[in-house]
C-alpha cells in the first residue's frame, strides 16, 4: 500500500499576539511555505523520521519528543495501527512563531484521514490538529491550526463555543521577511507570564487593549485597500504595545530596528514573543532582498516568504519536497 500524505500551511500573526487569548481579534496570514507529513503502515512500533528544513540551533525531532501530541491525535481518531510518520516539506522549523507544529499536526491529520478513509471535513481536520496543539502548548488560541488548515489571510477571534474566522481579501500577495532572533522561547511559559502580568496590572493594560482594538481595526481596512504604508505604520504601533506588555525583548527590538532602517515598511515580533521570530513588511523582491541581506550580515537566519491572499495550493508532488 502506498503511503499517504497531508499538508499544513505555515503562518505569521500580523496583529494580535496574546491579545487574542483575551478575546480580542487578530489578523493571521498563511504563508507560501508548507509542512508535509507522510504516514505508512508498519509492523511493530511507531516510528518518526524528521526530514524537515530547520533554522540553525533547532534540534531534530524524535519519537520521544513528539509522541504525546501524535498519540493524542491517534487516540482522538481511534487509530491503533503502528505507523511510520515522516515530517518534511519546505516550511523551515524555528524554535517558535511560524506555526510549524500546527502545520505538521494538520498534515498528520490529513494524512491519517486519507490513509484510513475517515472522510473528515476540513473543520474536523482543524479540530483534530487542535488536539495535538493542546498537548504541545497547553491552552492555545486555535489560530495556528486554523491557519494551517484553511490557509489564506483572515480575521480571527476566540469565541466560545466556536472561534470566529473571516477571510480578508487584499489586492495582491505581500512579500515579507521572517527573522529568527536566536533566542529560544517556550509558548506555555510565556503565555502564563503575560497573563499574570495583565491580570496584576489592570490599570496599565486596559488602556493598551483599547488602543490595540483601534490598531487592528485600521489594519483590517488597510489590508482590504492594499495600503501597505499604513499597514506598516500599524505594525510598528502594535510592536510598541507588545513592548509595553513585556512581550517583546531586546533581541526582537534590535531585529525590528535593523529591518526598518533598511526600508521595511513595518516590523514587529510574531508569535509567542520574548524571543523567537520577528516579521518585516517588505513589498517587492528588491526590498525583500535588501532587508534580508542586511539581517543576514548581522548574523540572523531569515526566511523570505509571501503572505497569501488566498489559500496556497497543496504541494503537487509531496515526495519531491525536501
The residue ranking higher by pLDDT, 163 or 37, is 37
For residues 17-49, one letter each, b for 16 or more C-beta atoms within 10 angstroms of the residue's C-beta and e for the rest, the string is bbbbbeebbbbbbbbbbbbbbbbbeeeeebebe
For residue 161, say if its preceding peptide bond is cis, omega within 30 degrees of 0.
yes
Residue in the structure block whose three cell numbers are 515526495? 319
pTM: 0.84
Q: For the chain, which domains are there?
A: 4-169+314-320 (3.30.230.10), 174-307 (3.30.70.890)
> Cβ distance 204 to 243 under 8 Å?
no
Mean model confidence pLDDT for the chain:
90
**pLDDT tens digits along 139-159:** 777 888 989 999 889 998 877
Longest CA–CA span in the chain (Å) reads 61
> Cβ distance 108 to 102 under 8 Å?
no
Question: For residue 254, what pLDDT is reported?
Answer: 96
**pLDDT tens digits along 287-306:** 999 999 999 999 999 999 98
Question: For residue 220, what pLDDT is reported?
Answer: 96
The residue ranking higher by pLDDT, 74 or 319, is 74
How many degrees, rounded to 5, is the angle at CA 185 between CA 179 and CA 190?
120
Amino acid at each position: 500500500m502506498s503511503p499517504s500524505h497531508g499538508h499544513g500551511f505555515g503562518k505569521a500573526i500580523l496583529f494580535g499576539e496574546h491579545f487574542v487569548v483575551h478575546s480580542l481579534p487578530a489578523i493571521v496570514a498563511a504563508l507560501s511555505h508548507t509542512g508535509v507529513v507522510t504516514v505508512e503502515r508498519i509492523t511493530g512500533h511507531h516510528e518518526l523520521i524528521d526530514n524537515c528544513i530547520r533554522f540553525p540551533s533547532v534540534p531534530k525531532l524524535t519519537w520521544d519528543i513528539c509522541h504525546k501530541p501524535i498519540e493524542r491525535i491517534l487516540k482522538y481518531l481511534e487509530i491503533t495501527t503502528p505507523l511510520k510518520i515522516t515530517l518534511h516539506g519546505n516550511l523551515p522549523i524555528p524554535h517558535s512563531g511560524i506555526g510549524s507544529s500546527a502545520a505538521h499536526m494538520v498534515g498528520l491529520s490529513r494524512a491519517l484521514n486519507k490513509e484510513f478513509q475517515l472522510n473528515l471535513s476540513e473543520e474536523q481536520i482543524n479540530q483534530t490538529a487542535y488536539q495535538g496543539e493542546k498537548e504541545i502548548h497547553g491552552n492555545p488560541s486555535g489560530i495556528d491550526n486554523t491557519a494551517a488548515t484553511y490557509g489564506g489571510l483572515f480575521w480571527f477571534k476566540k469565541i466560545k463555543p466556536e472561534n470566529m474566522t473571516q477571510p480578508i481579501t487584499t489586492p495582491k500577495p505581500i512579500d515579507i521577511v521572517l527573522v529568527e532572533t536566536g533566542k529560544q522561547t517556550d509558548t506555555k511559559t510565556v503565555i502564563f507570564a503575560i497573563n499574570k502580568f495583565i491580570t496584576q496590572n489592570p490599570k496599565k493594560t486596559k488602556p493598551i487593549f483599547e488602543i490595540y482594538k483601534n490598531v487592528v481595526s485600521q489594519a483590517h481596512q488597510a489590508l482590504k485597500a492594499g495600503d501597505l504604508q499604513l499597514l506598516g505604520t500599524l505594525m510598528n504601533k502594535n510592536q510598541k504595545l507588545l513592548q509595553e506588555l513585556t512581550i517583546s525583548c531586546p533581541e526582537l527590538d534590535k531585529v525590528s530596528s535593523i529591518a526598518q532602517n533598511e526600508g521595511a515598511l513595518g516590523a514587529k515580533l510574531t508569535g509567542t514573543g520574548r524571543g523567537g521570530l520577528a516579521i518585516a513588511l517588505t513589498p517587492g523582491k528588491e526590498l525583500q532582498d535588501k532587508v534580508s541581506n542586511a539581517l543576514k550580515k548581522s548574523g540572523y537566519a531569515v526566511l523570505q516568504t509571501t503572505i497569501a491572499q488566498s489559500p496556497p495550493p497543496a504541494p503537487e508532488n509531496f515526495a519531491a519536497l525536501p
